Each structure stands twice: as structure tokens, then as C-alpha cells.
Chains A and B, each alone.
Chain A
Amino acid sequence: MENIQNFDRKEPMAGKDKRVSLATKKRKKLIFYCAMMALPVLQFVFFYFYVNFNSFVLAFQKLDLVGGSGYEFAGMENFTTIFKEVDWGVLIENSMLLFIVMLAFGTVGAVMFSYYIYKKNPGHSIFKIILYSPHIISTVVFALLYNYFIDKAIPAIVGDPNMQPPMNNMNFVQTGTIIFNVWVSFGTQVLMYSGAMSGISESVIESGQLDGITPMKELCFIVLPSIWSTFVTFLIMRVMGIFTEQASLFSFYGADAPAHVQTLGYYLYAKVQAGASKGSVADYNELSAMGMTLTVIAVPVTLAARYCLNKFGPKTE
């Protein structure tokens, strides 16, 4: 009886315990979820939503610098100013040149190198390290090393210590910075492409080889379609970056990069970074207007590029 009583008393308690523990578990899970998500959400709200919203507002405002009364509505004045004052021709030309060279040599080169590594050709491991090393070291440090190499080692190699240091020779600056950018772009791409290539079924490769496929055809007709989604991702990133790519110019020259090599990305970055010397916080309004204008162009271009690449690209099935 006592046992039954005990059992009767315990049974509902045990059920309640179970329910309590389930609720507690749910609550704990929710707390854990909230704790884990809080930081990313906050980061999104502050660093994406707030920043972009603030830029949007700034683009239509102007600081009252004479009366000291703060921001006031400026309508489209900032947009008019940037169209009059910014040297669009050179900035667009350099941005497009960088985009095309990076596409032709950076992306294509990365696929070729990845294929070389994937096929485990001689020296593939050391090759991988050489290509990835720029990403192990920070870009600023790597730019400094590259700078030293170009400015100090080349005059020594050619035996002319009085040679104008190439990275401050206006006829070489563009070539020098583009070579650097192509080189540092290989690391991540090679890693991702060779990773994607390692997932290709061996049987598909073998069947191609049985049919006597050449390495170039294997790359074009088997490997590239198999890694197409990775390839598209990088291409879209490249298109998205047309207007923001600053070509590491700030790492080389700070706010002093020669005008004939400046890109749109560098121009915006240098103006904001260099603040009151090159520009001023007061110029943020015009820079926001410039950023908005570029976004209006970049969004449809990126979406169109994605659509075309997905629609007309090779299909693996």
C-alpha cells in the first residue's frame, strides 16, 4: 500500500518533472539560441543595416559648417557635386582595367594552377604553398615585402643602384600594383577550386581518359563544369567588387596614390580614411552619394551577371 501510495504520489510528480524538464530544456535551448544569434544579429543591425541606412540619409544631407547648426536636408546637391567634381573617367577606366586583368589572369590563372595541383603534377605541394603564402601573411605586410623586393632588389639585380625605385616610377606603378593584385588573388581561389576539384568523381575522369581525352579538354569539359558553382561564386564576387576594389593602393601609397592608377574603390576608401586632410567628415555626404550611385549601377550588373552565368553556363547533368 505504501508502495502504491508512493507510486501514486510519485507518478504525477515524475510526469510533472518530465514536463518541467522539457520546458526547461526548451527554454535553455532558446536562451542558447538567442545567445548565439545575438552577436551576429547585432553585428548585422549595426554594421550593415545602420551603416547603410546612415549612408543613405547622409547622401541627402549637408553639414552647416558656417552656422554650426549640424546636418540639414540638401536634396540632390551632393549627387550634382560628385558628378561635377569626381574624375570619373580615370577612376572607371582603372577599375575596369583591374577587373578585366583580374578576370583574365587572376581567375583563369587560378583555375589553371588549381588544375595543376589537382592533377598532382610535379611540385604541386610547394606550388600550393607559394600561391597561398600571401594569405598567411597580412596583405599590408605582404605589400611591404613586395615593395622592398621591387624597389631594392630589382635595382640591385640589374646593377643600377641609382635606378628610380620602380614603385614610385609613374610609368611602372600601374603594372607593379596589378601584378601584386593578381598574385595575392590566387591563394583563396586556388584553395577553393582545388577543393572543389577533389570532389569530382574519379570514374568520370577515368572514363574521359579511357576515351583519350587531352588535359585541356578534361579541364574544359569535365573539370570546369564540375566546379562551375564555385567558379560562378568567384566571378560574381569579382563583378560585385568592380566599384569597391581598391587594388591594395592604400597599402602601397596611403592616401598618396598617383591619380592615374586610382580606382573607384580606392578613391572612396582614401577619402574616408584620410578624413580631414584629403577630404573631411563634411565630405562624407558627397561620398555617401557617390556610394549610392555606384550601388545603383552595381546591383543590376551583378544580378544580370549571375543570371547569365547560371543560365548559359555548362550543366553537369
Chain B
Amino acid sequence: MKKIKKLSATLTALLLVGGTFGSMAACGPRTDDDIDKNKTQIYVANYNGGVGEKWLDEAALRFEEKFKDWKNGKKTGVQVKIRHDKSYDGITLPNSIQGDKYEIYFTQQVDYATYVSSGYVYDLTDLVTEMVNADDNKTILSKFSEDQVSALAVNGKYYAIPHYELYSGISYDAGVFKLKNLYFADTMDTDGTRKFVSNPSTKKSCGPNGVYEDGEGDDGLPSSIQEFNKLIDKMTTSSVTPFVWTGKSTHYTNQLIAAISANLEGGAGARANFTFDTAGEKVDIITGFNGDEPVIAQQAIDQDTGYLVKSQAGLYYGLSVAEKVFSSQKNYYVPGTSTTFSHLNAQETFVFSGLDGKQHIGMLIDGNYWYNEADDANIFKDLKDWYPETYTQKDLRFMPLPRQYKGTVTEGNGKSPVLVDSYNSYAIVNAGIDKDQYPLIKEFLSFLYSDAELLQFTKTTNGIVKGVNYDFSAAYNEVDSFAQSVLDLRTEAKAANAFVKSESAHPVYRNNVSKFTLNSNAEYWESMVGGTTRYVNLWSAVQKHVSAKAYFEGMGISEATWNSTFNK
């Protein structure tokens, strides 16, 4: 009897201990069972939303092969242990990083200044500034842009390396544009804009960049806000629903405003959102309204007038387009506004639009990464399987957006596109690593940031650009047409110094990241309408009959608030 009692007590204890440690083990890497004790391991965590997993899995295999003779005591060779998980986003990572066994993280939405100040991240200065990878013959720092050098240096030290670039914006179905004659023609209309093409062979307008590209590139796309609004109206009369987005995350609608605003603000104005300085360049500032018409003055922004970043005319016109879209159900896919309608539902609806009697949808509000997400979710595979004869009609592209408020852009008078990367994606190293591991971590990261691997990243991720400078032109022909449309815009923006990253060393930015970062769900987009009623986004405000003008005024920062709260 005693034996049975003892046995049952032992079993209970074992079960309890097993249960506890079992659940604790569940928090660790999924593949601990295949650890090779003869090799040295590196533990890598990867946020796998947007750009996925394949790039890292393949790069890790190449690294293991290259370092198969790496000696560490009695061990030879390296094993890269990877955990792919969406829980490794930069927002929630601070909750677990200090007790986490992972050494390297590839993540996004990192509040860099907070990570550094809180001591979460390892000092990577030597890795960034010294030549580690002899094959590459370059330092990682030499691949940083000037903006990055200034934004990432904290007391001369670097704690992160930019990971990838993602851009908010709109994608359009060029197949629908062609089918429904939604492109602007080269002929002028009486209202100062262009007429629409009457058939696919009509010569298209020169588009927002003011350069004729044989009907390709941005040719025929709206070059002004007036034309963009005209396009929305044309779509609704042509049985095309202009927009679809996810109702589950209504903040995605801010991507429409962000992308339009940035293109109107220009590189200097868009960059000033983070640096509070246009370097002497004058940008369009709204000083008041004459009725509903904005009064615009040109003014440079600097440290003392930083509050003007939220008075830029581009922001108002971005809001005005969104107001137009939200204020009529004809302008958007109504079932898509349900809180049960996810980003994947929106992508699927966009991709399958027009097929099998479904309504045509012209544009999708989502970042450029949506294409990879849809691919991972087998949306394109389903498209090919289910519509083998008609899927080729699909011609999805990332949309170049208008660069002026009214009229039309004429040849030679266009402006370059502006792209804003507001996803703050970085590679970081856990501050709690075993110091003996650092040499290997250095090798791994420098390997991943070699030119060859950077190019491979762009190829594997179908056109996603790594967040540092390198030549990705060799990848262009290996990615599909959607990715090419993104790369074209990125190349054009970069060449015109109109590529902007939401990072800055400016004290106001570092101390108030949540208020100035342009993530679509950031506080930046909130408005205190009439000084009394707070709205988290324009979508909810328009339903309460709030105008773009009132919303814009509610988003503004007064000079007094700037001086008392921000620029102290």
C-alpha cells in the first residue's frame, strides 16, 4: 500500500514537474530536438509577417556551408537555429527579450531609441564600422545612407542594422484600368485635367512624373488630386468599385492618406515629419481656410517651426481624398468594412475581382508587402488553379500617386515619387547574449549584409529591398511585374532624394516616437476635432460627418504646444 502511495506521489510530482517544464519548453525553439552537439549554434528569431521565412532559411543554409569548418573548442561547424513567429514583432518584443534565449532578431516596428535606452540591444558598433566580411570588402556602415548614420548613432554607437524596407500605399489592377478605359489620355479636358482614354490604344498622358514612357510606368495615371478624384468618379460610373481595404484593421485606411500626402509634400516635406527641418527648402503650408478652400503659403520648416509639419498642404489633400472615398458607399467595397474582414480577405477580393461575375475593384489600400502575404496565403495559386484561362488578365501594380493638387502634369514638369518606409525594421542582437557567441554573431550578420546576400534577399522575397544601400538591379528581371513596379518607384524616389525613412536623431522625434511615427496605427493620425472630440482615424470621423478640413485642423500642433510640450 505504502509503495503504491509512494509511487503515486512520485508520479504526481513527475507529472507536475513535467507539466511545468514541458510548458516552459514550449516557449523555446520548436526544433531543439535536432541540435547538433558537435556544432556551435546561433539562435535567430524572425518576425515572419510580410517578407516571410524563405530568405532566412536559405541564407542560413549558405552560412552553415560557408562556416562548416568554424572551430569553437571541440566543436566544428555552425548550426543556425531559427524560430519564425509573428510574436517577434518589435512592439511586443520588449516584453520578452530580456529573458529570451534568442540572440539575433529580425523584426519591425522597433522603437529604436527606447530599445537602446532600456538596454535591450547589444552594441554593434564594431560590426557596423569594421571590415568583418573579407569577401565583401565593405563595412556595413558604408551601406548606410546619411539619414541612417545620423538616426542610428547614439553617442557614436550603433545598436541596430536596418533590415528591410516596406512602403505604405495603394496597389491597382492595371488589367481593370485597361479594360474599363480608366487611364488618362494625352488630350486636355475643359476643367484643366486630362480626358480619359477611349480605347486601350489611345495615347496616355505623361503621368505624375511628366515623362512619356511608351504607355508604361506611370503613363495615364492621375497626376493631380483633381484627376485622382475624377478617376474615382469615372470608376463608379464604369461599374468598378474604386477601393477595398480591411475593415478588421481600419487603420489601414491611413495608408491611403500617408501615401498621397507624402507625394504631395515632396521629399523635403515628408522627411521633415521626422527631422523637423526642410534644410531651407520651402514647402506648402496651410495658413487657414477661405471657406473650404485652403490658403497656402510657402515656408521652410526648422527647429522653431517644427509644428508646421502637421500643417502641410499635402496632409490636407490626402485627407480630402480619403473623405471623398469614405463618404459614399459607391467608392468602396462595403462588405469589406466589416470588422470580420481581414487584410487577407481584402487581398483575395482584390485579386479575384472581375472574375466569374464578381465586381471589378480598382485599387487596394495596403503596403507593398501585401503581395508576398497573398502569395504565402496561396491566393495567387488559387487564382491560377480556379481561373486558368482568365487569370492572365490580372496585372497588379504598385501605384505612382499624384504630385500636385489641381490640373494636370505636363511633359517635363513632373516630380519624382516620394516613398516613405515607416516600418522601422531592424536586425538587432539581444543585450543578454553570451559574449563568447558574439564573434560568430558578427560573422553571421556581416555575411547577411554582404552585397551578394543583399541581392539574394531581394530575389527571394520577390522584390523587397533590404534597408541599406546596394545594387539590386540584377534582381529586377527575376521578380514579377508587381515587384518591378515597386522597384521602379523606389529607384526613382531614391535618385531624387525622395526616399524617406521614419527615423531621426532629432530629440523631439526620439522623445515622442508614438506621436510622430507614420505607422498607419500611430497616434500621428488621431485628431481632436473642434478641440473637444477625439477620433482615432478619419474613417470613424467621416461617419460622424466630420470634414477633412475639421479633421486636418484637429491634427495640427499649435506653436504654443510645440514650445511647451515638444521643443523644450
Chain A residues near B (Cβ < 8 Å): 63-71, 84, 87, 89-90, 144, 147-148, 151-152, 161-165, 167-171, 252-260, 274-283
Contacts and interface: CB of A to CB of B under 8 A. Distances in A.
B540 A258 contact: yes
Nearest to A257: B536
B118 A258 contact: no
Given A171-B543, A274-B91, A277-B91, A165 B118 contact: no
A259 B251 CA distance: 13
B496 interface: no
Given A278-B521, A281-B114, A167 B339 contact: yes
Contacts of B109: 275-277
Contacts of A253: 250, 339
B510 interface: yes
A147 B341 CA distance: 10
16 contacts: A65-B114, A67-B154, A68-B113, A68-B154, A148-B340, A151-B338, A170-B543, A252-B339, A254-B249, A256-B249, A259-B540, A277-B514, A277-B517, A282-B114, A282-B513, A283-B514
A87 B533 CA distance: 9
Contacts of A282: 111, 113-114, 117, 511, 513-514
Contacts of B534: 87, 90, 259-260
Contacts of B249: 254, 256
A255 B251 CA distance: 9
Contacts of A165: 247, 334-335, 337-341
Contacts of A257: 536
Contacts of A152: 338, 340
Contact of B510 (A65, A144, A254, A260): A65
A165 B543 CA distance: 12
B338 A276 contact: no
Interface of B: 90-92, 94, 109-111, 113-114, 116-119, 154-155, 247-251, 329, 334-335, 337-341, 424, 507, 510-511, 513-514, 517, 519, 521-523, 526, 528, 532-537, 540, 543-544, 565
Given A260-B533, A276-B90, A276-B111, 11 more contacts: A63-B117, A65-B117, A90-B534, A147-B338, A152-B338, A170-B543, A253-B250, A256-B536, A258-B540, A275-B90, A277-B522
A253 B249 CA distance: 7
Nearest to A63: B117
A281 B111 contact: yes
Contacts of A66: 113, 507, 510-511
B428 to A, nearest CB: 13
B329 A164 contact: yes
Contacts of A70: 117-119
Contacts of B528: 87
B94 A275 contact: yes
User: Which of A63, A152, A281 has the most chain B CB atoms inside 10 A of its CB?
Assistant: A281
A164 B544 contact: no
Contacts of B90: 275-276
Contacts of A275: 90-92, 94, 109, 111
A181 B521 CA distance: 26
A82 to B, nearest CB: 13
Given A87-B534, A164-B329, A256-B521, A68 B117 contact: yes
B521 A281 contact: no
